[in-house]
Homo-oligomer: A and B are copies of this chain.
């Protein structure tokens, strides 16, 4: 019974898994099995019987297409849910063994597959650890103390998001982050010579990382082991270990691109088994001895018991802190967090919603220590700095303001990682238009049900002079059309408060805030309660049913209120600040907001796309923006009370003799 027996069994099991599905990626599991075995059997601290044990090391498979490897490891090390039967359902409907690892299944820390996300999530996991350690560890009692390990391939390293996250990780000196780079010289297209010839170690050194090379990752287990040990000993820098391997090791197509993304085939798997001295007619076969060696249950229990003892000592000495840390890991909010809310009234002076947001964020940050984040080098513009805290930097990991730098994509992925660690409500900010840079990771917040607060400002053409490169047009439609994510575009301070209440409560749903650069008045008709329903009546004609509904979001709501007050028609004004929340309301409520037979005109400084769901006509912007002063921009795009009045009249005239379609009434 040797290490190699375990490693080769991991290999053939992964190959069986992929072959049975007739779909998947066998190449990387075959090449990475040795490093996976060394990590899981000699270093990684985990308890398969309690995958969520907070004291565990975190493991991220950034090259998520190698999922068969991860599932094989979870099975072999004793995770009860990862039965052999589950492995046999790889890539089939409702299987935990999904095509790429999905974080809602036990033992999978983060959802990976889109390259670079995992490594960037891992930077978030590592930041989380340092912060909680700095906050809670006392007197040498380390209740928070774990490593974050990452496997990645050259695909991950080519992605820009990885560069952003790695540069920041180096800057922040994340000494407990250890990345094993599977350097197999092969990409999907063929040799890395085609597109990737950089000196990866030198690049990581330039970021301030510690680097090592394992020359023969196919055969030299002790070198892998020694490198991990050395990496763990370097406490002030993240570590990169470049492990030279052979993709598809042991298979007929070893060392070629063909083995990356296609099953080996029946004959190929048979050859593989023969190569390792196994019976080609045995499938999904693992000898008992391999299970015995690889099962992490006993060691996992010991580790968790040890941690529990230490936590008990901590609880004795610091009962409040212990309760607080437990609360954070439980994901519940501190008691009273939504009591004594700030109040706003129409008598308050006009203020941009980005500034209101800054005040409200600071209010909640004082009540909720879980709030943690920052901006992509835009603090003076986005107002997301927490005044209670200083910068989260080397030497001040207990602080909550992260300086992400101009790294929007990594920023979002790091927030996903912070959430995955547990105990955090991550927020981040930039200009709304630059969600275009971060969108690859924002999608994953939604897919993996991570309630990040995306506090995005400069939300429309009304940011003015910076011009079309900075002016979002379609971004509201982008977020609204994306499943599992809310867009909140508040009209004033009250609605901004509602946005925060909604976002903080939505621990499984990310919220994108769209906040104004320019000042907006606090309106008499808005309310926190109304805004929390996503859409509500802000103004109604006195004692009469409306002739027309004006519906708006954000800064355009006050335009509609202004138009209503000047119109000779009976005008209802509706705020539709969050479509997703509104669409969760019962039909009866939605019909009470948009009554049958009354035409609806929408006013929003963005694409008309999607507004046909509610509106019979739209004041919208279906071109790119323009660089000009606010007054000229306002006029050029018809975002004036006069234009709202004129267009309202057109709507009223049009429907005078026509049937008004009921937009909420649908066949199914």
Contacts and interface: CB of A to CB of B under 8 A. Distances in A.
Nearest to A648: B667
Nearest to A98: B627
A410 interface: yes
A64 B466 CA distance: 10
B629 A654 contact: no
Range of interface residues on A (Cβ < 8 Å)? 35 or more
A623 B482 CA distance: 8
Given A199-B206, A467-B113, A483 B91 contact: no
B468 A447 contact: yes
A93 interface: yes
A21 B208 CA distance: 42
A650 interface: yes
Contact of A114 (B170, B188, B434, B627): B434
A612 B393 CA distance: 49
A391 B191 CA distance: 12
Interface string A397-437: 00000011111111000000000000000000000011011
Contacts of A633: 93
Contacts of A393: 194
A437 B170 CA distance: 23
Contacts of A164: 158-160, 163
Interface string A429-458: 000011011011011101100000000000
A157 B237 CA distance: 21
20 contacts: A23-B464, A24-B465, A64-B469, A92-B627, A92-B628, A99-B627, A100-B470, A158-B407, A159-B408, A160-B162, A188-B381, A189-B378, A194-B391, A198-B207, A198-B208, A203-B206, A257-B380, A612-B663, A650-B668, A654-B667
A200 B206 contact: yes
B205 A666 contact: no
A218 to B, nearest CB: 23
A481 B482 contact: no
A202 interface: yes
A102 interface: yes
Interface stretch (A335-343, A348-356, A472-480): A472-480
Interface string A231-245: 000000000000000
Contact of A610 (B23, B609, B653): B609
Contacts of A171: 195-198
Contacts of A275: none
A440 B436 contact: yes
B437 A91 contact: no
A285 interface: no
A580 to B, nearest CB: 11
A200 B405 CA distance: 15
A160 B159 contact: yes
Contacts of A115: 406
Contacts of A168: 195
A155 interface: yes
A305 B444 CA distance: 56
Given A650-B668, A651-B667, A100 B167 contact: no
